[in-house]
Amino acid sequence: MIVSDDDLAAVVATYRSGWLSMGPQTEVLESAFAEYTGAKHALAVANGTAGLHLICAATGLRPGDEVVVPSMTFVASVNAIAYTGATPVFADVASVTEPWLSAASVEAVLTPRTRAVMQVAYAGHSGETEALAALCSDRSLTLLEDAAHAAGSRLKGRHLGTFGLASAFSLFSNKNLAVGEGGLVVTDDDDVAAQVRLLRSHGMTTMSWQRHKGHATSYDVVALGYNYRLDEPRAALARNRLGRLDAENAQRGALDARYRDALSGHDVLCALEPVDELQSAHHLFTIVLPEGTDRDAFRASLAERRVQTSVHYPPSHRFSIYEGEHGPLDVTEAYGDRTVTLPLFAHMTEQQQDLVTDAVSHALTPRTRAA
Ligand SMILES: Cc1ncc(COP(=O)(O)O)c(C=O)c1O
């Protein structure tokens, strides 16, 4: 991530102000992000995982409840459900080039105990969000959204993360709106917002900033809350960076299109084809290797050319903690075995991108194929 001079100035000014946590910068960020997403409430939190935990808690999830979640996600989406005592139930993704939660697969795992569905905007793509929202409304289920990848993603002009009851965004260092550690919860629901506000700070009814402003002199503790607060310097940094998020996402979009062109003659599939009416955050660019390719050898070959790759994600149901009963997750497993994430960042140059595509061409020689 590039930290600009005005990013630094915003952070320094905040340190100089002497107020370091949950104060005016947090309030400014919250109203800016609410306006940016078109949501009624935005609440700053310590990180995206804390945000996910809070929306699960504010939904009232508890032991005995089931929440459907893709296994093809970062494990935090699953953990957040488990923190409440509810049971995560895995559903499959749509196809190897559409690695998002399939509404048909969700439908197949619903039981009388299902309370909610956790949609994940994988790579900032809307996937089947509308179908999932319709399914949840038909079955009286709560739709929650892990919007960690989706800062700046809009479907038909509506920001992802505003299709369900509540959502959580991440400001982690590798995200489109990065500050290091941080997160934002978004909701239109006044009760959820009040719960999240309460639970992010120990269940206390007032905060130091309100007391400082003379709005209160004491507080009560009315719920078992957490310390999930964001500090002021990072709130100021996020606010500053929000101003250039759309431009940076557009740069990512141009690079995404350029990758697709350059790789079109190659023996790989490009996942996450852009769709009409989606303005994507283009958080990730992932390819799918031919079946039988030795992915480790492919990645090692790119690494030799100093091209960093990663895998988003090892499926959650294969982690020891979540091993157990689940329905068919064949597409998740195929994608999990064959996907590789190529470098993509807003300030990536075309020359850098050409190095990556050359390295992909070079690696796709028979030596990365299993015998
Ligand atoms: C899909 C997804 N969900 C949740 C998170 C958790 O966010 P954070 O790292 O801010 O806790 C991340 C990123 O780290 C993520 O990629």
Q: Which of 40, 156, 175, 213 is catalytic?
A: 175
Residue 368 has pLDDT above 80, yes or no: no
Half-sphere exposure of 88 (CA within 13 A, CB side): 29
Kindly tell me the sign of the dihedral angle through the C-alpha atoms of 348, 352, 358, 364: negative
Residue 110 has pLDDT above 90, yes or no: yes
Q: Cβ-count burial of 245 within 10 angstroms (0-12 exposed, 13-18 middle, 19+ buried)?
A: middle
**C-alpha 79 to ligand 1 mean position (Å):** 11
Residue 357 CA: distances (Å) to CA of 96, 264, 296, 298? 21, 11, 17, 13
Is 73's C-beta closer than 6 angstroms to any atom of ligand 1? yes
DSSP class of residue 365 equals: S
Angle between helix 295-304 and 350-363 (nearest 10): 140
Chain segment 303-315, per-residue pLDDT in tens:
999 999 999 999 9
Chain segment 144-174, per-residue pLDDT in tens:
999 999 999 999 999 999 999 999 999 999 9
Which residues face 98 on adjacent strands?
95
| Residue 274 to residue 277: CA distance in whole angstroms | 9
The mean of the pLDDT values for the chain is 96
Q: Which residues contact 325 (CB under 8 A, 6 or more apart)?
A: none
**C-alpha 301 to ligand 1 mean position (Å):** 28
| Residue 172 to residue 234: CA distance in whole angstroms | 11
Burial annotation 193-215 (CB, 10 A radius, 16+ → b, else e) = bebbbbbbbbbbeebebeeeeee
Measured from the Cα of 170, ligand 1's closest atom is 10
Measured from the Cα of 50, ligand 1's closest atom is 11
CB of 160 within 8 A of CB of 153? Answer: yes
pLDDT at residue 89, as a whole number: 98
CB of 167 within 8 A of CB of 56? Answer: no
Percent of the chain whose predicted confidence (pLDDT) is above 70: 98
Is 172's C-beta closer than 6 angstroms to any atom of ligand 1? yes
Whether omega before 313 lies within 30 degrees of 0, making that bond cis, reads yes
CB of 115 within 8 A of CB of 141? Answer: yes
- Which token pair is 25? 């910068």
**C-alpha 83 to ligand 1 mean position (Å):** 15
Residue 275 has pLDDT above 70, yes or no: yes
CB of 102 within 8 A of CB of 360? Answer: no
Q: According to the CATH classification, is domain 245-368 in 3.90.1150.10?
A: yes
Measured from the Cα of 172, ligand 1's closest atom is 10
Residue 369 has pLDDT above 90, yes or no: no
- Which token pair is 78? 């699953």
Residue 27 CA: distances (Å) to CA of 30, 207, 215? 5, 12, 15
Chain segment 50-71, per-residue pLDDT in tens:
999 999 999 999 999 999 999 9
**C-alpha 19 to ligand 1 mean position (Å):** 27
**C-alpha 170 to ligand 1 mean position (Å):** 6
Residue 210 has pLDDT above 90, yes or no: no
Find the DSSP H helices in the chain.
5-17, 24-37, 48-58, 76-83, 103-108, 129-138, 190-199, 208-212, 232-242, 245-263, 295-304, 330-338, 350-363
Is 122's C-beta closer than 6 angstroms to any atom of ligand 1? no
Is 120's C-beta closer than 6 angstroms to any atom of ligand 1? yes
What average pLDDT score do residues 327-336 get?
96
CB of 144 within 8 A of CB of 59? Answer: yes
* pTM exceeding 0.85: yes
Q: How many helices (H) and strands (E) does the chain have?
A: 13, 15
Domain with CATH 3.40.640.10 in the chain: 5-242
Measured from the Cα of 175, ligand 1's closest atom is 13
CATH ID of 5-242, from 3.40.640.10, 3.90.640.10, 3.40.50.150, 3.30.365.10:
3.40.640.10
| Residue 6 to residue 93: CA distance in whole angstroms | 41
pLDDT at residue 371, as a whole number: 44
**C-alpha 175 to ligand 1 mean position (Å):** 9
Is 284's C-beta closer than 6 angstroms to any atom of ligand 1? no
pLDDT at residue 359, as a whole number: 97
**Beta strands 166-170; 87-91: pairing state:** unpaired
Percent of the chain whose predicted confidence (pLDDT) is above 90: 93
Is 170's C-beta closer than 6 angstroms to any atom of ligand 1? yes
What is the DSSP code string of 154-208? Answer: EETTEETTSSSSEEEEE-BTTSSS--BS-EEEEES-HHHHHHHHHHTBTTBSS-H
* pLDDT range class, residue 209, cuts 50, 70, 90: confident
pLDDT at residue 80, as a whole number: 98
What average pLDDT score do residues 256-267 get?
96
156 catalytic? Reply is no
Domain with CATH 3.90.1150.10 in the chain: 245-368
What average pLDDT score do residues 138-149 get?
98
CB of 316 within 8 A of CB of 75? Answer: yes
Is 183's C-beta closer than 6 angstroms to any atom of ligand 1? yes
Residue 250 has pLDDT above 70, yes or no: yes
pLDDT at residue 215, as a whole number: 78
Measured from the Cα of 47, ligand 1's closest atom is 10
Is 76's C-beta closer than 6 angstroms to any atom of ligand 1? yes
Chain segment 17-49, per-residue pLDDT in tens:
999 999 999 999 999 999 999 999 999 999 999
